[in-house]
Amino acid sequence: MPTPPAHPRAPLPALIDRLDRILPQTQCRQCGFDGCRPYAEAMARGEADIDRCPPGGDAGARALAHVLGVPARGYDRSRGEHHRPAPVALIVEADCIGCTKCIQACPVDAIVGASKLMHTVIEPLCTGCELCIPACPVDCIEMVEPICQRP
């Protein structure tokens, strides 16, 4: 059953929560915000358009438009391509120096490890945002197909 459009006087926190639930929670920043929640907040305040989320695709943009009561349109392809399933990070553990920089960069806590010990990615939690790659000083992180998609 479709969700009715948000009432113009809906409390802002409730509207933000509804918008945030629609977003894919990849925290990829392709929208230009620091994650899905800040993007939802900006949309709720009328400071961002509904078409800025490539991982959400056209369906996500339409759902956001419906909640906000604005005309539906596809996502802005200049922000990136819509891919499913997203590649996931893989740490080449033999090369990992245990610096924890990738752990600090991961917006969804998908990387585990301890200082000066090797780290690993919890694949089901990884959104494929690639924010861990530039954080790694030894270039030991690769993006690969999720295990469930590999031949």
Q: For position 121, which CATH number holds?
A: 3.30.70.20
With CA atoms as reference, report the closest residue to 108 among 90, 93, 124: 124
Using the 3D structure, point to which of 30, 46, 79 is the last residue of a domain: 79
With CA atoms as reference, report the closest residue to 128 among 83, 92, 86: 86
| 120: three-class secondary structure by DSSP | strand
pTM: 0.62
Binding residues: 28, 31, 36, 53, 96, 99, 102, 106, 126, 129, 132, 136
Q: pLDDT grade, residue 111 (50/70/90)?
A: very high
Inside any domain, residue 7: no
The bridge status of strand 141-144 relative to strand 88-91 is antiparallel
Q: What is the pLDDT of residue 13?
A: 92
With CA atoms as reference, report the closest residue to 57 among 20, 108, 23, 16: 23
Q: Which two tokens stand for residue 74?
A: 């596809």
CATH code of the domain covering residue 71: 1.10.15.40
Binding residues for [4Fe-4S] cluster: 28, 31, 36, 53, 96, 99, 102, 106, 126, 129, 132, 136
Inside any domain, residue 6: no
Alpha-carbon distance of 38 to 29, in angstroms, equals 10
Query: Chain-wide mean pLDDT for the chain?
Result: 87
> What's the domain count of the chain?
2
Please tell me whether residues 24 and 62 are part of one structural domain.
yes
Q: Which domain holds residue 34?
A: 12-79
